[in-house]
Amino acid sequence: EDQVTQSPEALRLQEGESSSLNCSYTVSGLRGLFWYRQDPGKGPEFLFTLYSAGEEKEKERLKATLTKKESFLHITAPKPEDSATYLCAVQNIKAAGNKLTFGGGTRVLVKP
């Protein structure tokens, strides 16, 4: 069974204080690893897809990396508007419907 574990559960940062979020996964065959941002009471907002170990993707202050067992989301010089829950999800290459299996998320609070 596919499993995704995210750490830490919560992260409090000062504005400008860079940090990294971890996503550890177990999947029999990885089609892709996805990062989403979720604001309170809203739907997940797509950020990145990573398909193979060594791949990196960047968007503004966010950078996602992938190894064979985990993915990191690096937040560089965060701003208060980066406060959100960041979700990691995997897609198994054997899944007929391409479902996403999510981790529990990391709640990030950036204080000015």
Partner 1 sequence: EPEVTQTPSHQVTQMGQEVILRCVPISNHLYFYWYRQILGQKVEFLVSFYNNEISEKSEIFDDQFSVERPDGSNFTLKIRSTKLEDSAMYFCASRLPTGYEQYFGPGTRLTVT
Q: Does 97 bind partner 1 (CB under 8 A)?
A: yes
Q: Does 96 bind partner 1 (CB under 8 A)?
A: yes
Q: How far is CA 30 from CA 9, 26, 37, 69, 99, in A?
A: 24, 9, 21, 10, 12
Residues 6+ apart with CB under 8 A from 20: 72, 73, 74, 75
Query: Residue from 65, 71, 83, 91 that binds partner 1 (CB under 8 A)?
Result: 91
Q: How far is CA 97 from CA 2, 51, 65, 92, 93, in A?
A: 14, 18, 25, 10, 10
Q: Does 103 bind partner 1 (CB under 8 A)?
A: yes
Selected range binding partner 1 among 12-20, 21-29, 43-51, 61-69, rule: CB under 8 A: 43-51
Selected range binding partner 1 among 12-20, 26-34, 58-66, 68-76, rule: CB under 8 A: 26-34
Query: Residue from 89, 106, 108, 110 that binds partner 1 (CB under 8 A)?
Result: 89
Give 56's strand partners: 65
Cα 80–chain centre separation: 18
Query: Cβ closer to partner 1: 18 or 26?
Result: 26
Interacting residues with partner 1 (CB under 8 A): 31-32, 34, 36, 41-46, 49, 87, 89, 91, 95-105
